Amino acid sequence: MSLRLILDLIARLALWLLLAPLLPGIINKVKAWVAGRRGPPVLQLYYDLARLWQKHAVLSTLASPGFVIGPAVAWVALAGAALLMPLGPAGSALSFRGDMLLLIYLLALARFCTAWAAMETGSAFEGMGAAREVSFAVLAEATLITALLALCVQTESTSLVTMLAPAAGAGAVLLAAGLFTVLLAENCRVPFDDPNTHLELTMIHEAMVLDHSGPPLAVILHGAALKLLLFSLFLTEAVLPLGQLSTLAATGALVGGVLAVTVGVGLVESLLARLAFRRVPLLLTTAFLLCLFALLMAWKGGAE
Amino acid sequence: MKELLLILVPLAGAALAAAWPNNRTRPWLLPAVCAGHVGLSFWLLVAPPAVAPNAWFAFDPLARAVLPAVSLLFLVCGAYGVAYLRLRSERPNRVFVASLLAVLGLISAGHMARHLGLLWIATEGVTLAAVPLLHFNGTPRAFEATWKYLLVGGTGIALSLLGSFCLGYASLHGGGGGDLTFSALTAQGLHLSQPWVKTAWVLLLIGYGTKMGLAPMHTWKPDAYGEAPGIVGAILAGGVTTVAFTAILRVRGVVTAAGLGPIADRTLLAIGLFSMLVAALMLLGTRDFKRMLAYSSVEHMGILCIGAALGRAGLWAALFHVWSNCLTKGSLFMSAGNLRRAAGGRTMDEVRGMAVLAPRSAALFVAGMFAVTACPPFGPFFSELRIVRAAFETGHSGAMALFLFCLLLAFFGLTRLVFAIVDGRPRQAARAVRRQFPETLGIILPPLVLLGFSLWLGLHPPEVLQNAWTAVADQFIPLP
Amino acid sequence: MSEYINLLIGIAMGLNLLALGSSRLPTLIMAVALQGMALGLMPLLMETEADWRLVLVALATVAGKGLLIPTLLRKAMRAAHIDREVEPFIGFVPSLLLGAGGTIAAVALARSLPLLPEHSGSLLVPGSLASVFTGFVLLIGRAKAISQVCGYLILENGIYLFGLLLIHYTPLMVEAGILLDVTVGVFIIGIIVDRIQRAFDSLDTRKLTALRE
Query: Which pLDDT does position A294 carry in this prediction?
Result: 86
Contacts of C171 in chain B (CB under 8 A): 117
C interface test, pick of B143, B157, B347 with most C CB neighbours within 10 Å:
B143
- For the stretch B155-182, pLDDT in tens is 888 889 889 989 988 988 888 777 888 9
Residue A278 CB neighbours (<10 A): 11
Write the CA distances from B185 to B200, B250, B260, B315, integer angstroms: 13, 10, 14, 21
SS3 B89: coil
C interface test, pick of A143, A173, A278, A285 with most C CB neighbours within 10 Å:
A285
Q: Tell me if C155 and B155 make a contact (CB, 8 A cut-off).
A: yes
Phi, psi of C24 (to 5 degrees): -125, 140
Contact B454, B327 (CB under 8 A): yes
pLDDT surpasses 60 at A302: no
Query: Which pLDDT does position C171 carry in this prediction?
Result: 62
Instruction: Specify if A220 maps to a domain.
Output: yes
Q: Where are the alpha helices (DSSP H) in A121-193?
A: 124-155, 160-164, 172-186
Alpha-carbon distance A151 to C17, whole Å?
Answer: 23
Is B130 near chain C, with CB under 8 Å?
no
User: For residues C166, C172, C177 and C180, what is the CA-based torsion angle, rounded to 10 degrees?
Assistant: 100
Contact B462, B69 (CB under 8 A): no
Contact B1, B55 (CB under 8 A): no
Alpha-carbon distance B361 to B80, whole Å?
Answer: 13
Query: Which pLDDT does position B404 carry in this prediction?
Result: 95
- Distance (Å) from the alpha carbon of C94 to chain B's nearest alpha carbon: 22
Write the CA distances from A119 to A112, A215, C47, integer angstroms: 11, 19, 64
Task: Sketch the domain layout of chain C as residue ranges.
Answer: 2-207
- For the stretch B251-275, pLDDT in tens is 999 999 999 999 999 999 999 999 9
Q: Kindly report the length of chain B.
A: 480
How many helices and strands, by DSSP H and E, does chain A display? 12, 0
Contact C42, C3 (CB under 8 A): no
Contact B410, B297 (CB under 8 A): no
pLDDT confidence tier of residue B43, bands split at 50, 70 and 90: very high
Rg (CA), chain A: 19
Q: Which residue has the higher pLDDT, A170 or B48?
A: B48
Query: Which pLDDT does position C184 carry in this prediction?
Result: 66
Residues paired with B181 in a beta bridge: B115
Of C92, C96, C104, the CB nearest to A296: C104
HSE of A267, CA atoms in CB hemisphere, 13 A: 7
Of B146, B165, B195, the CB nearest to C166: B165
Q: Kindly report the length of chain A.
A: 304
Percent of chain A predicted with pLDDT > 90? 42
Alpha-carbon distance B12 to B477, whole Å?
Answer: 37
Alpha-carbon distance C77 to C88, whole Å?
Answer: 17
Choose among B327, B353, B234: nearest CA to B361: B353
Write the CA distances from B309 to B242, B270, B390, C117, C170, integer angstroms: 16, 9, 10, 36, 31
Contact C69, C127 (CB under 8 A): no
Instruction: Specify if A5 maps to a domain.
Output: no
Contact A232, A183 (CB under 8 A): yes
- For the stretch B453-467, pLDDT in tens is 999 999 989 999 999
Phi, psi of C144 (to 5 degrees): -85, 145
Amino acid at B208: Y
Query: Which pLDDT does position A193 carry in this prediction?
Result: 83
Is B154 near chain C, with CB under 8 Å?
yes
End-to-end Cα distance, chain A: 43
Domain that holds residue A128: 44-303
Displacement of CA C112 from its chain's centroid (Å): 24
- For the stretch A86-118, pLDDT in tens is 988 888 878 888 899 999 999 999 999 999 998
Alpha-carbon distance B215 to B301, whole Å?
Answer: 9
Is A299 near chain C, with CB under 8 Å?
no
Write the CA distances from A271 to A30, A32, A35, C3, integer angstroms: 11, 12, 10, 34
pLDDT confidence tier of residue C176, bands split at 50, 70 and 90: low
Residue of C nearest to A295 (CA): C104
C interface test, pick of B56, B133, B144 with most C CB neighbours within 10 Å:
B144
Choose among A218, A20, C149: nearest CA to B150: C149
pLDDT confidence tier of residue A304, bands split at 50, 70 and 90: very low
Q: Which residue has the higher pLDDT, A219 or C170?
A: A219
Contact partners, residue B262, CB within 8 Å, separation at least 6: none
- For the stretch C67-99, pLDDT in tens is 888 888 888 777 766 667 777 888 888 898 999
Residue B381 CB neighbours (<10 A): 18
Alpha-carbon distance B334 to B87, whole Å?
Answer: 14
Q: Tell me if C17 and A289 make a contact (CB, 8 A cut-off).
A: yes
SS3 A115: helix
For residue A272, give the DSSP letter: P
Instruction: Specify if A14 maps to a domain.
Output: no
Query: Which pLDDT does position B390 carry in this prediction?
Result: 94
Query: Which pLDDT does position C1 carry in this prediction?
Result: 55
Q: Determine the average pLDDT of the residues in A279-304.
A: 80
- For the stretch A254-270, pLDDT in tens is 999 999 999 999 999 98
SS3 A213: coil
Domain that holds residue B351: 2-476
Is B147 near chain C, with CB under 8 Å?
yes
Alpha-carbon distance B230 to B237, whole Å?
Answer: 11
Q: Is the torsion defined by CA of C190, C195, C201, C206 positive or negative?
A: negative
Residue of C nearest to B192 (CA): C114
Contacts of B177 in chain C (CB under 8 A): 169
pLDDT confidence tier of residue B65, bands split at 50, 70 and 90: very high
Ranges A67-81, B37-51, C113-127: which has the least confidence: C113-127
Q: Tell me if C195 and B227 make a contact (CB, 8 A cut-off).
A: no
pLDDT confidence tier of residue A303, bands split at 50, 70 and 90: very low
Instruction: Specify if A203 maps to a domain.
Output: yes
Displacement of CA B281 from its chain's centroid (Å): 21
How many separate domains does chain B show?
A: 1
Is A138 near chain C, with CB under 8 Å?
no
Query: Which pLDDT does position A163 carry in this prediction?
Result: 84
Contact B326, B238 (CB under 8 A): yes
Alpha-carbon distance A21 to B417, whole Å?
Answer: 81
Contact B116, B180 (CB under 8 A): yes
Respond yes or no on whether the N-terminal peptide bond of residue B195 is cis (omega within 30° of 0).
Answer: no
- Distance (Å) from the alpha carbon of A242 to chain C's nearest alpha carbon: 25
pLDDT surpasses 80 at C46: no
Write the CA distances from A42 to A21, A94, A264, B174, C193, integer angstroms: 9, 31, 16, 69, 57
